[in-house]
Amino acid sequence: MIDSRPLVDSFGRLHNNLRISVTDRCNIRCFYCMPADNVEFMDRGELLTFEEIERFVRVAAPLGINKLRLTGGEPLVRRNLSELIGRLSTIEGIDDIGLTTNGILLADQAADLHAAGLARINISLDALDPIRFKEVTRREGYEKVLEGIEAARETGFDPIKINAVSIRGLTEDQLLPFGRLARETGIEVRFIEFMPLDADNAWERDRVLFASEIRERLEAEFGPLVARGRTDPTAPASQFEFADGVGRVGFIASVSEPFCGNCNRFRLTADGKLRNCLFSLEETDVKELIRETGTDEQIVEAIAASIHAKAEGHEINTARFIQPDRPMYSIGG
């Protein structure tokens, strides 16, 4: 055994948050994530089944995992996702299940997901304009996302958060519309800095719209933003509300203000690899352990080894940085 507390890494960070990718497939093609065409997807036989994911979580929960987030690829293209949520929500110790989705299929599934035990939804939407939406995603679907957001509200999901990746030279004109949306609807809009995890390997620092600049532009239009007390110090977003009390926004400043020191997450990819960091160059294969040969103890050992090997932080801001081979859609963002 590497550590008597298997989910504490060598920098003392306790991990209680597991992000599970259920597929690498997606119904759109955001340029900062996937190639536009000819994507090579995992063979379906490579994907962990719901039973296998459930087994993994049953082993991880007694170690201290209590928060799950399902992601992808687009998790709602995985058939019967609500069945998986139902299975996971019965596992002792799991008290929070979230979903990150592009929202295109949400209108049809929101009620089933909610009934199955899904607590929280983050919807990714980078533009409040169909033309910009298509420029980012290279596909249609803007109206469907709006319908999905409305369905999530009607179903009673609370909170609903919108995640918007902000790209210099492309979505700057969306900042104020998103500010207005936050103020008019009560939805929290979180601006995410563009990270070097794109399939095309075309990330450039110049294209990152930094959180500090976004904040300045919002404040120039809507007045000062006031920091909200952090209820969860491990949350990646710094959260603010406008000084008049109307509207909440957040910033996920992964590039300009890395939050690695408080990281409590690790990831299980759709093909059964454990990743201790988005930017990790190594991963631990647990698929065969989960699938057939492994005992629960061996799975615990694999989790502990992965957590123990976690680096202190990403190196995006250094000359040493190497972009991982797996792009975001295949890791599970």
- Dihedral, 84, 86, 90, 95 alpha carbons, nearest 10: 90
Integer angstrom CA distances of residue 225 from 126, 151, 189, 244: 21, 29, 13, 9
Please enumerate in sequence order all residues whose Cβ is within 8 A of that of 141, keeping only pairs 6 or more positions apart, or say none.
Answer: 27, 28, 102, 104, 133
31 binds ligand SAM (CB under 6 A): no
Helix, strand, coil shares of the chain, percent, nearest 5, are 35, 20, 45
Among 11-19, 79-87, 189-197, 236-244, which window interacts with ligand SAM (CB under 6 A)? 189-197
26 binds ligand SF4 (CB under 6 A): yes
Strand partners, 190: 163, 250
72 binds ligand SAM (CB under 6 A): yes
Between 26 and 53, name the residue whose CB sits nearer to ligand SF4.
26
145 binds ligand SAM (CB under 6 A): no
DSSP 3-state assignment of 210?
coil
Shortest Å, Cβ 100 to ligand SAM: 4
The answer to whether 233 and 186 have CB atoms below 8 angstroms apart is: no
329 binds ligand SF4 (CB under 6 A): yes
Please enumerate in sequence order all residues whose Cβ is within 8 A of that of 306, keeping only pairs 6 or more positions apart, or say none.
Answer: 266, 274, 275, 276, 283, 284
Number of chain residues interacting with ligand SAM (CB under 6 A)? 20
105 binds ligand SF4 (CB under 6 A): no
Which residue of 30, 192, 237, 270 would you call a contact of ligand SF4, by CB under 6 A? 30
Which residue of 28, 57, 152, 162 would you call a contact of ligand SF4, by CB under 6 A? 28
Between 54 and 198, name the residue whose CB sits nearer to ligand SAM.
198
Number of chain residues interacting with ligand SF4 (CB under 6 A)? 13
CA dist 289 and 310 (Å) reads 21
145 binds ligand SF4 (CB under 6 A): no
Which residue of 124, 137, 264, 306 would you call a contact of ligand SAM, by CB under 6 A? 124
Which residue of 100, 137, 155, 280 would you call a contact of ligand SAM, by CB under 6 A? 100
DSSP 3-state assignment of 138?
coil
274 binds ligand SAM (CB under 6 A): no
Which residue of 84, 166, 328, 330 would you call a contact of ligand SAM, by CB under 6 A? 328
CA dist 222 and 127 (Å) reads 19
333 binds ligand SAM (CB under 6 A): yes
Shortest Å, Cβ 253 to ligand SAM: 11
72 binds ligand SF4 (CB under 6 A): yes
Neighbours of 213 (CB within 10 A): 16
Residue given tokens 């994507």 in the structure block: 39
Angle between helices 130-137 and 142-155 (to 10 degrees): 100
Tokens of 281: 């160059």
Shortest Å, Cβ 234 to ligand SAM: 18
Tokens of 97: 């299940």
Residues that bind ligand SF4 (CB under 6 A): 26, 28-30, 33-34, 72-74, 102, 124, 328-329
